[in-house]
């Protein structure tokens, strides 16, 4: 006979007491038996059933000596609450990313801390955790400072919410004691003007070349570019209206508002307008070929069947090979051909030869193996180095504040400082003006 985990009994005063066993307290070792009284048996039974369901699901891990554990509270927050620091609901994508960070860097790396009841959680424990995340330990290498900072912000915000809910008297994430360390962020790799020109020159050789050219010309975020619909393209006014971004959560794709929640208009050159017109004609041909299998949702850069393309696939199958073709273009060489895929030794050898040739030409031309996001950075870097006002660059990039642009592209500052000094010398008579 299965052991009963909970019960409902009538008290002498006529009320009904519901009680269940929640295991042992990890601190004291004593049995934990949450209980509550109700005016009628039905309400008591409903509460008991709900509590046991949460206990089985791992959501309710109540401890008399400190409330829910850190892990249980965090998981429950993302499953049932989801309110941000200003009371607004976090987006599904933000919840997914935050919870993944917590599972990977808090719950799995520090199970003893994760299973500590909130009321027993100390600043010292958290300080040790974040020090280990930044500098590494016997089992793990140190993380990038940006990653540690993101985990810090997430945990701190959730613990602040726990204070509001009454689980804690004060937030143990004290900024003066819980330090954020970590590896310095990798410098942004960007294309030189000649490399960017080569990429644009070979873009027509790839089905998604227009998409990559558009990012180079506008600085759109990859998700913004992939989420463009034909209603967002103003060919007469030679501009792109950025209203949404393509976002994926658990394999599902959907269009959502931009990162800042703002709509922006980004001018494009006549060359880009011509490419988009040609792309629209090619897409019409694909629609006819696909027939009833084409799912037309209005995207400018969909798959051959109209659906949203996966950015990871775009990068691996299209963008990276295009970078290599651009390097060959600069070197004035032809990329080695490869036969149709097969299991033959001939095919394997051809792939090996091409990979070696690709690596050699990339090194010879100093062509960086940039990410799609770094193509966006290329546009901003080129503009700032040419003296374009940071506010204009910020508007094109979709940054809410100009200071964000200057912080991200601080590596461009030395060039800007040199140019400023040169201009000042000319203005103040330090050197004669040309001509």
- pLDDT score recorded for residue 240: 94
Contacts of residues 170-177 at CB distance under 8 Å and 24 or more positions apart, as own/partner, are 172/121, 172/122, 172/123, 172/125, 172/126, 173/123, 173/126, 174/123, 177/123, 177/127
The three-class DSSP label of residue 16 is strand
Report phi then psi at 51, rounded to 5: -65, -40
pLDDT averaged over consecutive 10-residue blocks of the chain (435 residues)?
72 89 58 85 91 66 62 90 79 86 92 88 90 86 88 92 85 83 76 95 95 95 93 94 84 76 90 96 94 92 92 93 96 92 92 94 95 92 87 89 80 71 73 52
Q: Order of strands, edge to edge, in the sheet holding 6-10? A: 6-10, 16-20, 35-38
Q: Which two tokens stand for residue 40?
A: 């009628």
CA–CA dist 325, 334 (Å, integer): 8
Q: Which two tokens stand for residue 137?
A: 């330990």
Sorted by where each starts, the structural domains of the chain and their CATH numbers stand as 1-63 (3.30.160), 66-186 (1.10.150.130), 209-308 (1.10.443.10), 372-427 (no CATH)
Asked whether 351 and 338 are in contact (CB, 8 A), the reply is yes
- pLDDT score recorded for residue 1: 39
The three-class DSSP label of residue 34 is coil
- pLDDT score recorded for residue 431: 58
CA–CA dist 338, 194 (Å, integer): 28
- pLDDT score recorded for residue 62: 44
CA–CA dist 211, 101 (Å, integer): 31
CA–CA dist 430, 435 (Å, integer): 15
CA–CA dist 162, 165 (Å, integer): 5
User: How do the residues of the chain divide into helix, strand and coil, expressed in percent and rounded to 5?
Assistant: 50, 10, 35
CA–CA dist 236, 278 (Å, integer): 15
Tell me which H or E stretch contains 102. helix 92-102
Nearest CA-CA partner of 32 in 3, 67, 2, 84: 67
CA–CA dist 208, 311 (Å, integer): 11
Across-strand partners of 244?
257
Across-strand partners of 36?
18
Asked whether 120 and 167 are in contact (CB, 8 A), the reply is no
- pLDDT score recorded for residue 64: 45
The pairing of strands 6-10 and 233-234 is unpaired
What distance lies between CA 254 and its chain's CA centroid?
A: 15
CA–CA dist 147, 189 (Å, integer): 19
Asked whether 391 and 383 are in contact (CB, 8 A), the reply is no
Question: What DSSP character marks residue 230?
Answer: G
CA angle 77, 224, 183 (to 5 degrees): 60
CA angle 235, 214, 200 (to 5 degrees): 120
- pLDDT score recorded for residue 257: 78
CA–CA dist 232, 240 (Å, integer): 6
Q: Order of strands, edge to edge, in the sheet holding 239-242? A: 233-234, 239-242, 264-267
Nearest CA-CA partner of 91 in 217, 258, 239, 204: 258
CA–CA dist 137, 141 (Å, integer): 6
Q: Which residues contact 383 (CB under 8 A, 6 or more apart)?
A: 392, 393, 396
- pLDDT score recorded for residue 59: 46
């Amino acid at each position: 006979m299965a052991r009963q985990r909970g019960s409902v009994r009538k008290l002498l005063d006529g009320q009904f007491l519901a009680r269940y066993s929640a295991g042992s307290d990890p601190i004291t070792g004593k049995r934990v038996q949450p209980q509550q009284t109700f005016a009628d048996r039905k309400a008591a039974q409903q509460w008991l059933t709900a509590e046991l369901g949460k206990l089985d699901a791992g959501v309710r891990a109540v401890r008399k000596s400190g409330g829910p554990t850190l892990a249980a509270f965090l998981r429950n927050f993302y499953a049932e609450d989801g309110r941000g620091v200003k009371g607004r609901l976090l987006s599904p994508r933000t919840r997914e990313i935050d919870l993944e960070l917590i599972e990977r860097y808090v719950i799995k790396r520090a199970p003893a801390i994760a299973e500590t009841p909130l009321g027993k959680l100390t600043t010292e424990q958290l300080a040790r955790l974040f020090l280990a995340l930044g500098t590494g330990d016997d089992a793990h290498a140190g993380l990038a400072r940006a990653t540690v900072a993101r985990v810090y912000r997430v945990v701190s915000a959730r613990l602040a919410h726990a204070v509001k809910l009454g689980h804690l008297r004060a937030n143990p994430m004290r900024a003066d004691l819980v330090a954020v360390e970590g590896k310095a962020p990798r410098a942004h790799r960007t294309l030189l003007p000649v490399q960017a020109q080569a990429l644009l020159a070979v873009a027509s050789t790839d089905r998604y070349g227009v998409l990559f050219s558009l990012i180079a010309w506008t600085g759109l975020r990859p998700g913004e570019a992939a989420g463009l619909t034909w209603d967002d393209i103003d060919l007469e006014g030679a501009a792109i209206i950025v209203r949404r971004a393509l976002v994926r959560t658990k394999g599902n794709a959907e269009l959502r508002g931009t990162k800042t929640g703002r709509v922006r208009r980004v001018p494009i050159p006549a060359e880009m307008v011509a490419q988009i017109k040609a792309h629209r004609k090619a897409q019409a041909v694909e629609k006819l070929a696909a027939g009833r299998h084409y799912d037309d949702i209005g995207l400018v850069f969909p798959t051959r069947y109209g659906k949203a393309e996966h950015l990871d696939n775009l990068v691996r199958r299209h963008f990276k090979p295009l970078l290599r073709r651009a390097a060959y273009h600069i070197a004035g060489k032809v990329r080695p051909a490869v036969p149709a895929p097969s299991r033959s030794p001939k095919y394997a050898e051809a792939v090996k030869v091409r990979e070696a040739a690709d690596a050699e030409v990339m090194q010879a031309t100093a062509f960086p193996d940039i990410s799609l996001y770094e193509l966006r950075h290329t546009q901003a870097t080129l503009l700032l180095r040419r003296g374009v006002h940071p506010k204009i660059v910020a508007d094109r990039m979709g940054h809410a504040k100009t200071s964000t642009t200057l912080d991200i592209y601080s590596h461009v500052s030395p060039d800007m400082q040199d140019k400023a000094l040169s201009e000042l010398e000319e203005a103040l008579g330090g050197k004669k003006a040309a001509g």
